[in-house]
Amino acid sequence: MFCVECGKETDKTVDGACVECFVKDKPLVKLPHHVDLQICTNCEEYALNKTWVEMEPSEAVEEAALGRLSAIKEARVLSVGTRVTKQDQKTYKVEMEADLEIRGTEVRAEASTLVRLKNTVCKRCSRQLGNYYEAILQIRSDGALEDSLRDEVVRRVRNDVEGQSKTDRRLFITSVSEVTGGIDIKLSSIALGKNISRDLADRYGAETKESFSLVGQAADGSETHRVTFLVRLPEHRVGDAVTFDGKLYKLTYISKSGGKLLALQGFKSIFVPRADMVRVRVFKKRADLGTATVVFSKDGEAEILHPVTYETVMIITPKGEEIGETVRFVDLDGEILYIP
Ligand SMILES: [Zn+2]
Ligand SMILES: [Zn+2]
């Protein structure tokens, strides 16, 4: 076979020409003059392939340009090298060098484009900024809700939502507000509210209650619901001195199946199923327990200096205590009980 252009003998032709003649002066790869790349001004994520993604600016720019690269149909793209140069705040120049294969011959081609960043607000952010919510978590407590616990719960909810939003960006916290008796956390999704309230119920042995409300009807007839999840935290917390069936214990552990109590007389642990946890009553909150200094210690017995009377009092401890150490105790009608 001979090339119709240069007459050279060749066994590979495209439209009758040898590959060299075929590619001569021909744009083999193409990029549009410019590519618009949407960026959310609120979360700074980029719209790529119909989803919003978190990316380095230069990577997003490169990705946006690559998505618009096309090659002539006779060519197979082997690899593409890119170079991104920032021209101003909103414009990047992207130059590409593509290695192509045409009829078994490798050919290099070049193209370039301008990627322009376009400010917008993604749907999630526009919802969030518009205070959209589908669920309210009402965190309440049977006793006073201590600041430390309130902060811990809020932190837990934030971490949880942040984790879940990585795979579903429709999930977010709309607002956290302090109200009389607790906190209200507004959430973007009913399902999110449901699984967070469950998690809190398991973690703290809390009771939960759901209530639906109809907020409106869309033009297409579909109804919009909101769900309020009331999470009532029990008064008892891990570390508190509690009573159960007339005996004194330290609450050492709470899980979704129940709680673990350590008897303050004899130091035996018992497990209380979740349904029976309502019978656990706070005797003294952990923060209100007495503290005293150990002045003598021997074989499971110790003497402490009573902080009020300054008398030395003998206490029973499951293991020896160091002299000088501070220990917790409760005063049960004059009997001093050590809290491990
Ligand atoms: Zn030729
Ligand atoms: Zn956004």
Task: Parse the chain into domains and list their residue ranges.
Answer: 13-122, 131-233, 237-284, 289-340
Residue 53 CA: which ligand is closest? 2
Ligand 2 centroid–CA 174 distance in Å is 13
Ligand 1 centroid–CA 12 distance in Å is 10
- Distance (Å, whole) CA 35 – CA 276: 64
Residue 40 CA: which ligand is closest? 2
Ligand 2 centroid–CA 234 distance in Å is 38
Ligand 2 centroid–CA 128 distance in Å is 9
Residue 120 CA: which ligand is closest? 2
The two beta strands, 70-71 and 335-339, are: unpaired
Ligand 2 centroid–CA 246 distance in Å is 56
Ligand 1 centroid–CA 10 distance in Å is 8
Residue 8 CA: which ligand is closest? 1
Ligand 1 centroid–CA 18 distance in Å is 4
Contact 165, 171 (CB under 8 A): yes
Ligand 2 centroid–CA 280 distance in Å is 46
Structure confidence at residue 74 (pLDDT): 93
Q: Do domains 237-284 and 289-340 have the same CATH topology?
A: no
Q: Exposed, middle or buried by CB within 10 Å (0-12, 13-18, 19+), for 306?
A: middle
Contact 261, 243 (CB under 8 A): no
Ligand 1 centroid–CA 27 distance in Å is 17
Ligand 2 centroid–CA 190 distance in Å is 21
Residues in CB range of 22: below 8 A, 6 or more apart: 13, 14, 15, 74, 102
The residues of the chain scoring below 50 in pLDDT are: none
- Distance (Å, whole) CA 243 – CA 305: 25
- β-pair partners for 270: 261
In CATH, which of 2.70.98.20, 2.40.50.140, 3.40.50.300, 1.10.287.950 is domain 289-340?
Answer: 2.40.50.140
Contact 172, 188 (CB under 8 A): yes
- CATH number of the domain located at residue range(s) 237-284 in this protein: 2.30.30.60
Residue 24 CA: which ligand is closest? 1
Ligand 1 centroid–CA 22 distance in Å is 7
Residue 125 CA: which ligand is closest? 2
Ligand 2 centroid–CA 311 distance in Å is 65
CB-CB neighbours of 288 under 10 Å: 11
- Phi, psi (rounded to 5 degrees) for 152: -65, -45
Structure confidence at residue 111 (pLDDT): 96
Q: Which long-range contacts (CB under 8 A, 24 or more apart) does 292-297 make?
A: 292/326, 292/327, 292/329, 293/324, 293/325, 293/326, 293/327, 294/321, 294/322, 294/323, 294/324, 294/325, 294/326, 294/327, 295/323, 296/323, 297/321, 297/322, 297/323
- β-pair partners for 39: 46, 119
- Distance (Å, whole) CA 288 – CA 255: 24
Ligand 1 centroid–CA 26 distance in Å is 14
Strands of 155-206, DSSP E: 173-179, 182-187
**Closest C-alpha to 206, from 144, 255, 152:** 255
Structure confidence at residue 153 (pLDDT): 95
* Identity of residue 321: E
Residue 15 CA: which ligand is closest? 1
Contact 315, 302 (CB under 8 A): yes
- Distance (Å, whole) CA 55 – CA 60: 6
Structure confidence at residue 245 (pLDDT): 93
Ligand 2 centroid–CA 172 distance in Å is 11
- Distance (Å, whole) CA 316 – CA 264: 9
Residues in CB range of 88: below 8 A, 6 or more apart: none
